[in-house]
Amino acid sequence: MARLDQGPPHYEQMLPPIIKENYGKWRYHEIPRPGVLKHVSETGAELYSIRVGSPRLVSIEFVRDLCDLADKFCDGHLRFTARHNVEFLLGDASKVEPLIAALTEKGLPVGGTGASISNVVHTQGWVHCHTPATDASGVVKSVMDDLHDYFEEMKLPAKLKIGLACCLNMCGAAHCSDIAIVGVHRTPPRINDEKIQKGTEIPSLVASCPTGAIRPNPKAKSVIVNEDKCMYCGNCYTMSPGMEIMDPKNDGCAILVGGKTSNARTAPSFSRMVIPFLPNNPPRWPEVTEAIRNIIDVWAANARQGERVGEWIERIGWERFFTLTGIPFSDKLIDDYIFSRETFRTSAAFKF
Amino acid sequence: MARLDQGPPHYEQMLPPIIKENYGKWRYHEIPRPGVLKHVSETGAELYSIRVGSPRLVSIEFVRDLCDLADKFCDGHLRFTARHNVEFLLGDASKVEPLIAALTEKGLPVGGTGASISNVVHTQGWVHCHTPATDASGVVKSVMDDLHDYFEEMKLPAKLKIGLACCLNMCGAAHCSDIAIVGVHRTPPRINDEKIQKGTEIPSLVASCPTGAIRPNPKAKSVIVNEDKCMYCGNCYTMSPGMEIMDPKNDGCAILVGGKTSNARTAPSFSRMVIPFLPNNPPRWPEVTEAIRNIIDVWAANARQGERVGEWIERIGWERFFTLTGIPFSDKLIDDYIFSRETFRTSAAFKF
Amino acid sequence: MADLIVNGQAIPLDEDGFLEDTELWNEEVAKALALTEDVPELTEEHWKVINYLRDYFAKFGVAPMVRKLCKDTGCDLKTIYELFPSGPAKGACKIAGLLKPTGCV
Amino acid sequence: MADLIVNGQAIPLDEDGFLEDTELWNEEVAKALALTEDVPELTEEHWKVINYLRDYFAKFGVAPMVRKLCKDTGCDLKTIYELFPSGPAKGACKIAGLLKPTGCV
Amino acid sequence: MTEKRTPKLDELQKGKWPSFVTEMKRAAVKSPAAAELVQLLEKSYEERKGHWKHGGIVGVKGYGGGVIGRYTDVPEEFPNLAEFHTMRLNQPAGWFYNTKSLRDLCDIWEKHGSGLTNFHGSTGDIIMLGMTTEHIQPAFDEFSEAGFDLGGSGSDLRTPSCCVGPARCEHACYDTLEACHDITNEFQDELHRPMWPYKFKIKFSGCANDCTASIARSDCSVIGTWRDTLRIDQNEVKAYVEAGLDIQAAVCDKCPTRALKFDYKNNELNVIPEDCSRCMHCINVMPKAIQPGKEKGATILLGGKSTIVQSAFMAWVIVPFMKMEGDYEEFKDLMRRIWEWWDENGKTRERIGETIYRLGMGKFLREVGLPPVPQMVFRPRANPYVFWPQDEIEK
Amino acid sequence: MTEKRTPKLDELQKGKWPSFVTEMKRAAVKSPAAAELVQLLEKSYEERKGHWKHGGIVGVKGYGGGVIGRYTDVPEEFPNLAEFHTMRLNQPAGWFYNTKSLRDLCDIWEKHGSGLTNFHGSTGDIIMLGMTTEHIQPAFDEFSEAGFDLGGSGSDLRTPSCCVGPARCEHACYDTLEACHDITNEFQDELHRPMWPYKFKIKFSGCANDCTASIARSDCSVIGTWRDTLRIDQNEVKAYVEAGLDIQAAVCDKCPTRALKFDYKNNELNVIPEDCSRCMHCINVMPKAIQPGKEKGATILLGGKSTIVQSAFMAWVIVPFMKMEGDYEEFKDLMRRIWEWWDENGKTRERIGETIYRLGMGKFLREVGLPPVPQMVFRPRANPYVFWPQDEIEK
Ligand code: SRM
Ligand code: SRM
Ligand code: SRM
Ligand code: SRM
Ligand code: SF4
Ligand code: SF4
Ligand code: SF4
Ligand code: SF4
Ligand code: SF4
Ligand code: SF4
Ligand code: SF4
Ligand code: SF4
């Protein structure tokens, strides 16, 4: 029988000796080359971390491969990052290049540090979830293939963090990313009375709709949707299998930009929608990859050194962002939900 | 019988000749001394405007006095400003000083231009309205007596606009003023069933409450207030005489600061509450005048040249504003209404 | 305000000349109220408006918005003012014996 | 999932082992369901919880929040898990024949 | 009534700022109502509460608004205040007067009212404060004779107002007085005969300094601007430098878009045209050297209002640039479309800004026929809750 | 099942970024379920829709969460996916592993599951992707044996996570790993037995760079900071100057509070202590020269969550400074008070941020016993709708 409530394994047993010895004693770091962080301790010790891109959805064989490398080069230790990259930890500078060579041989990219794009935080998509409006891993793979240079080199104005969520539940927490790809539905749920009768708490279902579009239909022991009020958030589907929201023809991706979470310089900020819809076009989502490349290229060409996407846009103004990128503006991009008021331009000062 | 729909008199018949001649031709202006604007036309013509403080609530004798002066010095023309000051318009520079002398003799202050305080935009108060939480003219007189120097000289960091509204209907539109004085109630309405029965559309009354605190009381053909939900806005009183909201013991003034409406430099902004309540202490409202003087003094001592109150505070941070002014912070000052979210500090960067 | 005298009966009015007690309204009262609002005679057209107002009020407990009044009675605003010189609120609602419109002044 | 056999009758369950048709619930069914959830016997304590859940559901159409369940039955969460090892949702609600809790997972 | 003492109010006759109490007492000399008002106010000062009854609905023939009914709640004590209504009169555009007109107003008011007045009310009207019901129609007849008409009240258009504009200001980007006058006259029906869900205010400011505070105080705010580039006179720039102005600090560093570059060597100031947001700051500081561009017009903003009920709203951009010329037909037509939409969609006592907030800008723009542009927002939406008109997608 | 072609997915085995399709195919070699998953996904790519049924409620004994039930909607076609649940396992703090543990996990998962996994899920757990109902309990028993426990799901505490912190970062202002580990262990009951209105996430970042993105992704965000003044090493400043860094442009001009003054003459950099908001920017650019102060601790922020339902909220300051030391009792106690309040006041499926938004910060602060300070807001309220607890005023 399992031991209940033992909690996670203690991190100490996971740390390589060099970290144990210098825990809390790090003084500064440098980035000797893309994908390699060099941290220097008060004690003079030097730690090299080699950051490696991962598809995140991996087989145990992949994990075993990582273990083999860690055993060979890193005394059996490694870590993963907050963005699902792998980091190999080396006390010995001379092992850096051999390890990188070994990684390259395996087709694993080294990069993601400094002014580069890091891995895309993302979600399950069609691989494992019940409500996606797009796939996750496939879109990410397409985007990262396209942006591969930006991962392996540090030639962007600043860090670039892309997030993807396959539905508005936003498990990728993409809402504060430099660029967010969000799966969106565009048609109201189709009601399956039978499923609702069988398995749904109607009061909870009615309460779940943020716009009050759902009302009970006592006759059918089901509900009715006022389609004019629905904005396809899918929250009702989360509450009930009878609210069929997936619609292959009309599901797709929205693109939001300009979010960040660090407090450095400017306050954390939400990503803002700039493209309300792009079609799902598997396996390579060309519309999505192109849209993202365009935004990144324009940012890279125009931003000042150290300016995150959102900082750049806030400096030049969103109206200019649309001009520079050539992305069409539309009424879809104007907020009409609870906190819309703060987005309205209550000022006569703007750029043409 | 009256001529219906004739509209206001045509402005042309009200303009002095020098203005007619130079209409649309003004090139620039200077402020030769406080209270005097000198506008220079393309044609070379020079117009002097002498700005005079008015109590706004005046007798026809006052208006006749103004007319006498205008006839004597200004060929029978004058204007009022957007803030209820009087402006005498002179084509002849030599008349400026004599006019000022005549005004001074009458006890009328000349000033309000440039980096000074102008007149207080305000409302009716106890003089003529049915829902005030404070008086208007009396508070204004007390404040302006206290700040008189700042009207007659230009020694502030920037323009200073004070607004007063005697209830939350905000007829003084004080919500975007450098400093706003707002009459506030602090107790829920006392219901007078009889008055409601007689004269109130119950559905409209119920709908008027922004927090949904009012529900019908069919038995009494009246309504019931959920006092826990009430925030004393008084909107229900506007709808019905039966919702008695005036409460001499608990009515008083709140102070808000930092609003502006011009688009110069920074976008127009709302005033923000810094003192939730000061008592009504007629005839001179010492608590109010002191609070305002304190704020102005601290601003004057700390702001950079050209910085409006709100611009100064936004630069130094609101947390610093409270430290510098010594005004206590309290939970009352934290928004808890519809648009509260945007006011929460969603950042780890702040000053202690 | 002075009481309204209808068939020798005194019907109390408030300061604005609205019925103190709307229950006391009847057609005779309407005619008497009309005189206070410069409406010498209540024509069919007037009654159409009055009846509409009363029905609406009975149903919803409030006076209709002006646009609705115009749409539903087919009288445009000009006509309403011809019929009731002080307009829909002070004129028509008063004569129709509705509650005094409050609020938006 | 395989049907539940109660008194020789087959009662259909969904994949999660909840009743396909909650109308088919009765005490016997509850006992059979209990076995699928590692509850060998339904004690008085169990019934208190089950009855509370059913009453609440009948009244409001939803399952109560866990805090409410604990407060109203006087069983703290520990006790609930002792009674129903898979907890209030998968354990107690299933046995009580409520609708499958959705949403928050 | 016997003369009573007013110790509290007397305090307010002291001090340097001109005293409204003194003014009330001046009116009291001729008007018994004004005399009682002084007493009533003293009573309010003692009791710390107002003494006016709720509401009141009075008016003139042919109009639905313009007079505010007021009755004291202590008529026994103050019989002359039993009826004490306010009449709102349209001010002339820009608040300019000749003394003849002003004296006419005074004379009529002496005859029919309390002799107390506000120059002006905070919406902009001339406020004639305090008259009996009986005097309403005759007073109006005489004001009308003198060339004045009633202002708005109730759910109608309120008297529009405008800044001094081209009459005395070098910044004016359109003729605010003419626009205000012409448009006020066009919408007489809307002004005098309430017909909407609620009130509607329009204010005209000649430039982004917004001297009528229109963005905060009016449902529709018309703010002068230009479409090309501001004009810089380099000779005058040099003159400012000589006069000691620190152009870098006082002008360039405060330019919100950092669109100004000062060249120290040559004492030249240049603007990056596409970056300037026309905020007026540099022009304010250096009016001799910098002027608006030549292609002038206005930005139209919508939705301003103060606190009650849903919070204060500032007006926001709905048309970035509109010529304000000729018969203003483009503007008038827009107003009509907006009112039509509001009237169709608004709830009772819901300002246009609140209606749009409730129903969404998208719906508003589509139905009123305004093209969406990024100038309407500070930034696009953060939530992904896009409403797709179902006819825009293929099903 | 016969081997089917997957032309669409095969496309995703091309390109430089490592391919998840390749990974799925690797797992498919040993796992029939994984093999079917490849086919199912190809089907989804053809049809542009997912093929998983709604919901699912499965679990282990003694816990109310930690396993996500999943069933395909085409079980006839893909019998091995008829049941295909996910198990969430707590990661070790900082996502550090020794290869022994990792290999153990792999071995167990080879035995009981599909051989597919996410390192890591976006909350931070190890995600074991795809297993039958039957295997749930035995798999858990073995994971437990190997030292791993389940993560959260449902209305409970989710596995807290933390940045690499003192283990490898010079900026860490508190021990994020220890805090995360200790606090996770303290709240095992809350993590494993759902009892609240909705989920609750905690993330620990060692400084304001917030490398766990906690402010956006967690109900409670714990961000390292200091209370005194940052420390500047002037020798290192000079070294940066020599190395060619333009300190004025890259550091001072980008300081949000303009708290840094660079002295060109002496190549010295100084800070105005009371102006610094500890945003980390200058430290990021010059880590050798600038360090956080000595009096370290954390800012506690509350209310973060993403889009559904009322819009995304970022967490906001509720405690400007708290020591994060010893047994973290101050923090734990605060959490308990907050949860108690939320549990008492929250509606079903309402995140703490939404509950506070609905009921007001004032009520929350009063009832949880937190002193209101201006650091909690960017700016005070603009509306005057103050709610006065009626016992605070004299009636
Ligand atoms: C390894 C990791 C922490 C972990 O526990 O896993 C980490 C590590 C470091 N971060 Fe980070 N950050 C990590 C996720 C983040 C995140 C969260 C995220 O990406 O989801 C953020 C906030 C993102 C945002 O703002 O949207 C983040 C915002 C920063 C920043 C602030 C950047 C900015 O200027 O806005 C810095 C400072 C800097 O780079 O100058 C920073 C700095 C650093 C430093 C330099 C800290 C140090 O001295 O060791 C580390 C190397 C950075 C690099 O890659 O160039 N780290 N860092 C995470 C690596 C993720 C990855 O694989 O790419
Ligand atoms: C596995 C994971 C995505 C991933 O691929 O990494 C995930 C997967 C699901 N999430 Fe999530 N969420 C995951 C992290 C998140 C995050 C991000 C985070 O924690 O940083 C968020 C947004 C942040 C937040 O909490 O607000 C998130 C917000 C949601 C929501 C919306 C909750 C809300 O309050 O708005 C739901 C819907 C719900 O709970 O009913 C949801 C629901 C779900 C469900 C259980 C679908 C459902 O409604 O039943 C998904 C199961 C997918 C599957 O079949 O495997 N998931 N979910 C993440 C958990 C992994 C882990 O434990 O490490
Ligand atoms: C006369 C008047 C217009 C009218 O039609 O009546 C007016 C006249 C001028 N304004 Fe104004 N403004 C007038 C109300 C306003 C208002 C509205 C208000 O106060 O309610 C504002 C917006 C207030 C706000 O932002 O909260 C206003 C914001 C400005 C500004 C921008 C100030 C700033 O930097 O924020 C300027 C530019 C400047 O002064 O540099 C300006 C500039 C001017 C100039 C210099 C324009 C000119 O070249 O002639 C005029 C003399 C200003 C002075 O007094 O120093 N005027 N001005 C108004 C005088 C009111 C009074 O009696 O004090
Ligand atoms: C006279 C005046 C105040 C003054 O002393 O100047 C005034 C006086 C009244 N206003 Fe006002 N408002 C006056 C300008 C304003 C303004 C300022 C403005 O127009 O720039 C506002 C705020 C701006 C706005 O429109 O949002 C204003 C917002 C209100 C409101 C709230 C409306 C709202 O939508 O939130 C009410 C309540 C109502 O309409 O029911 C109101 C209602 C009233 C009433 C009629 C009281 C009532 O509810 O019956 C007041 C009559 C006082 C009296 O007995 O004389 N008054 N009112 C102003 C009109 C003078 C004029 O015509 O020139
Ligand atoms: S974002 Fe939506 S579809 Fe994607 S994993 Fe989360 S709940 Fe599932
Ligand atoms: S999709 Fe969202 S908006 Fe539409 S009915 Fe469902 S819950 Fe309501
Ligand atoms: S602010 Fe209130 S009390 Fe004052 S005049 Fe306006 S409605 Fe009357
Ligand atoms: S005062 Fe305002 S909040 Fe209170 S009951 Fe009246 S309308 Fe509602
Ligand atoms: S708004 Fe502009 S044009 Fe009008 S008076 Fe003010 S500065 Fe002049
Ligand atoms: S008008 Fe404003 S934005 Fe334009 S250049 Fe001048 S200061 Fe800058
Ligand atoms: S949050 Fe701060 S302490 Fe933690 S890893 Fe990032 S930079 Fe280092
Ligand atoms: S930490 Fe940020 S605010 Fe403080 S001095 Fe450095 S850059 Fe400025």
Distance CA B2, CA E245 (A): 57
Express each pLDDT in F32-45 by its tens digit. 999 999 999 999 99
**CA distances for A45 relative to A31, B205, F168, angstroms:** 16, 74, 12
Claim to verify: residue B200 and residue B288 sit in the same structural domain: no
The pair of three-digit structure tokens given for residue A231, joined into one six-digit string = 């904005």
Claim to verify: residue A171 and residue A198 sit in the same structural domain: no
In total, chain E counts a number of residues equal to: 395
Domain around A276: 121-184+249-334
Q: Which SS3 state, helix, strand or coil, does residue A129 take?
A: coil
- Whole-number pLDDT of residue A137: 98
Instruction: Compute the nearest-CA separation of C48 from chain B (Å).
Output: 22
Domain assignment present for A115? no
Number of domains making up chain F: 3
Express each pLDDT in F69-119 by its tens digit. 999 999 999 999 999 999 999 999 999 999 999 999 999 999 999 999 999
Claim to verify: residue E178 and residue E315 sit in the same structural domain: yes
- Whole-number pLDDT of residue B31: 97
Ligand 2 atom nearest to F125, measured from its CA = 63
Claim to verify: residue B150 and residue B296 sit in the same structural domain: yes
Physical contact, D and C (3 or more Cβ pairs within 8 A)? no
Claim to verify: residue B73 and residue B162 sit in the same structural domain: no
Claim to verify: residue E80 and residue E209 sit in the same structural domain: no
Claim to verify: residue E213 and residue E243 sit in the same structural domain: no
Average pLDDT, chain D: 92
Domain around F268: 231-291
pLDDT-based confidence at residue D105 (cuts at 50, 70, 90)? very low
Strand-pairing partners, residue B80, are B86
Nearest-5° Cα angle at B217, B214 to B219: 175
Claim to verify: residue F16 and residue F114 sit in the same structural domain: yes
Express each pLDDT in C11-68 by its tens digit. 999 999 999 999 999 999 999 999 999 999 999 999 999 999 999 999 999 999 999 9
Domain assignment present for F2? no
CB atoms A203 and D60 under 8 Å: yes
Express each pLDDT in E69-85 by its tens digit. 999 999 999 999 999 99
- The protein residue with its alpha carbon nearest to ligand 7, atom 6, reads B171
Claim to verify: residue B74 and residue B213 sit in the same structural domain: no
Claim to verify: residue F213 and residue F323 sit in the same structural domain: yes
Q: Where do the DSSP E strands lie in E243-335?
A: 260-263, 268-271, 290-291, 296-302, 316-322
For the ranges B148-152, D20-24, F353-357, F380-384, the lowest mean pLDDT is seen at D20-24
Claim to verify: residue E190 and residue E136 sit in the same structural domain: no
Domain assignment present for F156? no
Instruction: Compute the nearest-CA separation of E56 from chain C (Å).
Output: 6
**CA distances for E79 relative to B188, C18, E58, E132, angstroms:** 31, 21, 19, 11
Cβ-contact A205, A223 below 8 angstroms: yes
Express each pLDDT in A212-223 by its tens digit. 999 999 999 999
Residue range A188-192: mean pLDDT, rounded: 97
Residue range E165-187: mean pLDDT, rounded: 98
Distance CA B159, CA B112 (A): 9
Domain assignment present for B140? yes
CATH classification number, D2-95, choose in 2.40.30.10, 1.10.10.370, 3.90.1570.10, 3.40.50.2300:
1.10.10.370
Candidates E30, E98, E120, E214: best to mutate against B (most CBs of B within 10 A) is: E98
| Percent of chain B with pLDDT strictly greater than 90 | 98
Residue range A324-337: mean pLDDT, rounded: 98
Claim to verify: residue E28 and residue E138 sit in the same structural domain: yes
Distance CA E135, CA E130 (A): 10
Q: Among F145, F172, F202, which residue terminates a domain?
A: F145
Number of domains making up chain A: 3
Claim to verify: residue A78 and residue A165 sit in the same structural domain: no
Claim to verify: residue B22 and residue B100 sit in the same structural domain: yes
pLDDT-based confidence at residue B226 (cuts at 50, 70, 90)? very high
Burial F71-101 (b: 16+ CB within 10 A, else e): bbbebeebebbbbbbbbbbbbbbbbbbbbeb
Express each pLDDT in B282-328 by its tens digit. 999 999 999 999 999 999 999 999 999 999 999 999 999 999 999 99
Ligand nearest to C-alpha F284? 1
F207 ligand 11 Cβ < 6 A: yes
pTM of the predicted protein model: 0.97
Residue range D13-21: mean pLDDT, rounded: 94
Q: Which residues of C touch B198 (CB under 8 A)?
A: 20-21
- Whole-number pLDDT of residue B94: 97
CATH number of residue B45's parent domain: 3.30.70.3340
**CA distances for C76 relative to C43, C87, E195, angstroms:** 17, 12, 11
Cβ-contact E303, E325 below 8 angstroms: no
Express each pLDDT in B23-49 by its tens digit. 999 999 999 999 999 999 999 999 999
B280 ligand 7 Cβ < 6 A: no
Instruction: Compute the nearest-CA separation of F34 from chain B (Å).
Output: 43
CATH number of residue E262's parent domain: 3.30.70.20
Distance from the alpha carbon of residue C101 to the mean position of ligand 5, in angstroms:
53
pLDDT-based confidence at residue E155 (cuts at 50, 70, 90)? very high
Claim to verify: residue F179 and residue F88 sit in the same structural domain: no
Domain assignment present for B43? yes
Cβ-contact A314, A258 below 8 angstroms: yes
The pair of three-digit structure tokens given for residue B140, joined into one six-digit string = 């204004």
Distance CA B320, CA B352 (A): 8
Domain assignment present for E168? yes
Kindly tell me if the per-residue pLDDT of B118 is higher than 70. Answer: yes
Domain assignment present for E2? no
Ligand nearest to C-alpha E94? 3
- The protein residue with its alpha carbon nearest to ligand 10, atom 6, reads E282
- Whole-number pLDDT of residue F1: 46
Claim to verify: residue A61 and residue A93 sit in the same structural domain: yes
Ligand nearest to C-alpha F283? 12
Backbone angles phi, psi at E181, to 5 degrees: -65, -50
- Whole-number pLDDT of residue F3: 64
Kindly tell me if the per-residue pLDDT of F301 is higher than 50. Answer: yes
pLDDT-based confidence at residue B1 (cuts at 50, 70, 90)? confident
Claim to verify: residue F324 and residue F366 sit in the same structural domain: yes
Express each pLDDT in E6-40 by its tens digit. 999 999 999 999 999 999 999 999 999 999 999 99
CB atoms D100 and F69 under 8 Å: no
Distance CA A204, CA D98 (A): 14
Q: Enumerate residues lining ligand 9, CB below 6 A.
A: E 163-165, 169, 171-172, 205-207, 209-211
CATH number of residue F81's parent domain: 3.30.70.2500
Kindly tell me if the per-residue pLDDT of D104 is higher than 50. Answer: no
- The protein residue with its alpha carbon nearest to ligand 2, atom 3, reads A123
Distance CA B269, CA F291 (A): 37
DSSP H helices, chain B, are 17-22, 60-73, 96-105, 137-146, 148-152, 193-199, 202-208, 235-239, 286-302, 309-316, 318-325
| Percent of chain A with pLDDT strictly greater than 70 | 100
Claim to verify: residue F174 and residue F208 sit in the same structural domain: yes
Domain assignment present for E349? yes
- The protein residue with its alpha carbon nearest to ligand 9, atom 2, reads E207
- Whole-number pLDDT of residue C105: 34
- Which residues of C are tagged catalytic? 104
- Whole-number pLDDT of residue D2: 78
Residue range A206-231: mean pLDDT, rounded: 96
CB atoms A203 and D103 under 8 Å: no
| Percent of chain E with pLDDT strictly greater than 70 | 99
- Whole-number pLDDT of residue B64: 98
Domain assignment present for F275? yes
Claim to verify: residue F121 and residue F12 sit in the same structural domain: yes
Q: Which residues of F touch E258 (CB under 8 A)?
A: none
Claim to verify: residue F174 and residue F74 sit in the same structural domain: no
